[in-house]
A = this chain, B = another copy of it.
Amino acid sequence: MALIVQKYGGTSVGSVERINAVVDKILATRAQGHDLVVVVSAMSGETDRLLKLAKSFTDPPNPRELDVILTTGEQVTIGLLSIALEARGCPARSYTGGQVRILTDSAFNKARILEIDSDRVRVDLSLNRVVVVAGFQGVDAQGNITTLGRGGSDTTAVALAAALKADECQIYTDVDGVYTTDPRIVPQARRLDRICFEEMLEMASLGSKVLQIRSVEFASKYNVPLRVLSSFVEGPGTLIAPEDQTMEQVLISGIAFSRDEAKLTMLGVPDKPGIASQILGEVADANIEVDMIIQNIGADGLTDFTFTVHRNDYKKALDLLRNKAVVLGIREVRGDNRIAKISVVGLGMRSHAGVASIMFKALANEGINIQMISTSEIKISVVVDEKYLELGVRALHEAFHLDEPPVKQ
């Protein structure tokens, strides 16, 4: 008998029929003898409806009051699911974030969980009840209602699993697991049975939007085994867990990519200490987040300096740098917002130097020019012209044999 935390997203609880399907899954899990805590999101569309209503008065609305409104979405779902469970003979009890209580800081709209009091939940579990908890929400030390920001229900589930020392945290979503890459681009993409936290973080932050990054970080920090499953299709999903020394280690786990990139290049920058931080400081002050940064060794006391930003920030960043060019001694600022980033991710990379050469060769074979390269311990990213995105992803998926079941290294 295990203690399992399950999380069902907005689509999974989007209608009376869907909620009844969730009840089926819960009853099946209980039939296996497990204790269950269930975290739910608002019914799909509900959060957007409430947000629109709030914004019809002013935009942005008062952040404290916005959270009062938005949290009602999940509150309705916990009540409905508990009613549905009780109607099917399964004892259930719902809790809002404040009732649990999930203590957060007071950063309305994007609060962070500080502490979870799991006493009430434990009592209910001991009484054989399914405990149904509203995701995405908490309460600060003064009793104000807070939200964790979009996608925060995943974080609620993982944090509850950590607090309860649950055996597994299962995230039910509309995909049946984590894939080697996006199957819409590579039909041969394969579901991974298992992936480690570090790989998942690189995959998630690079654009595989299966899980909230924060929830993966949380799971990693507290060592909570996470499993991604489909609400609609039966299957084992993908287990996201600590690196397992005994598991068959593959070279590359997946190919991530992002279309939302733009790059900015400063030519003829004085090659002196502090210049990079000065340029990036201006960018940071304008609340623009920078992703990749590259600086080449210069000649004649000058250097070229390139970084990438989210495409939405491109125009703002370009204007800013052109305005500051003279002050910063930059000769010329060039930009390109028709680029894409492709990354190969895998723990196996640590011990295999050959990954980069396989990657670059595969891209070269397709005539794809690499504009930028950036590496981390378990990831290599390249920036290419956006028209090569699909071709590049497919070439790499094939080059690393990701369509084939993993073999021992």
The answer to whether A78 and B87 touch across the interface, beta carbons within 8 angstroms, is no
A194 CB, min distance to chain B CBs, angstroms = 37
Secondary structure type dominating chain A contacts: helix
Say which residue of B19, B54, B58, B98 sits within 8 Å of A79 (CB atoms).
Answer: B54
The answer to whether A82 and B56 touch across the interface, beta carbons within 8 angstroms, is no
Say which residue of B72, B75, B99 sits within 8 Å of A143 (CB atoms).
Answer: B99
Interface residue A36 (Cβ < 8 Å from any Cβ of B)? no
Which has the most chain B C-beta neighbours within 10 Å: A64, A80, A143? A80
The answer to whether A68 and B78 touch across the interface, beta carbons within 8 angstroms, is yes
Say which residue of B65, B76, B96 sits within 8 Å of A82 (CB atoms).
Answer: B65
A45 CB, min distance to chain B CBs, angstroms = 14
Q: How far is the CA of A232 from the CA of B283 in the complex (A)?
A: 52
Interface residue A94 (Cβ < 8 Å from any Cβ of B)? yes
Residues of chain A having any CB pair with chain B under 8 Å: 16, 19-20, 50, 53-54, 56-58, 61-62, 64-69, 71-72, 75-76, 78-80, 82-84, 86-87, 92-94, 96, 98-99, 143, 145
Residues of B within 8 A of A67 (CB): 79
Q: How far is the CA of A144 from the CA of B93 in the complex (A)?
A: 10
A155 CB, min distance to chain B CBs, angstroms = 22
Say which residue of B19, B56, B72, B87 sits within 8 Å of A61 (CB atoms).
Answer: B87
The answer to whether A69 and B65 touch across the interface, beta carbons within 8 angstroms, is no
Say which residue of B19, B64, B75 sits within 8 Å of A57 (CB atoms).
Answer: B19
- Name A68's closest neighbour in chain B (CB-CB): B79
Residues of B within 8 A of A82 (CB): 62, 64-65, 68
The answer to whether A65 and B53 touch across the interface, beta carbons within 8 angstroms, is no
Q: How far is the CA of A143 from the CA of B82 in the complex (A)?
A: 17
Sorted from nearest, which 8 A-B pairs have the closest CB atoms? Answer: A69-B79, A58-B87, A72-B72, A68-B79, A65-B82, A61-B83, A62-B86, A65-B79
Say which residue of B57, B68, B76 sits within 8 Å of A69 (CB atoms).
Answer: B76
Q: Tell whether A94 pairs with B75 under 8 Å between CB atoms, given A57-B16, A80-B54, A99-B143.
A: no
Q: How far is the CA of A67 from the CA of B94 in the complex (A)?
A: 11
Say which residue of B62, B68, B78 sits within 8 Å of A75 (CB atoms).
Answer: B68
A26 CB, min distance to chain B CBs, angstroms = 14
Say which residue of B58, B99, B143 sits within 8 Å of A83 (CB atoms).
Answer: B58
Residues of B within 8 A of A80 (CB): 53-54, 57, 65, 69
A306 CB, min distance to chain B CBs, angstroms = 43
A102 CB, min distance to chain B CBs, angstroms = 14
Which has the most chain B C-beta neighbours within 10 Å: A20, A53, A83, A93? A83
A200 CB, min distance to chain B CBs, angstroms = 34
Residues of B within 8 A of A66 (CB): 79, 83
Which has the most chain B C-beta neighbours within 10 Å: A69, A94, A145? A69
Offer 10 A-B interface pairs, CB within 8 angstroms, sorted by A.
Answer: A50-B76, A54-B79, A64-B94, A65-B94, A68-B75, A68-B78, A69-B80, A69-B83, A72-B75, A98-B98
Residues of B within 8 A of A16 (CB): 53, 56-57
Q: A58-B87, A64-B94, A65-B79 are in contact. List 4 more A-B contacts (CB 8 A).
A: A16-B57, A54-B83, A62-B86, A68-B94
A53 CB, min distance to chain B CBs, angstroms = 7
Residues of B within 8 A of A145 (CB): 96, 99
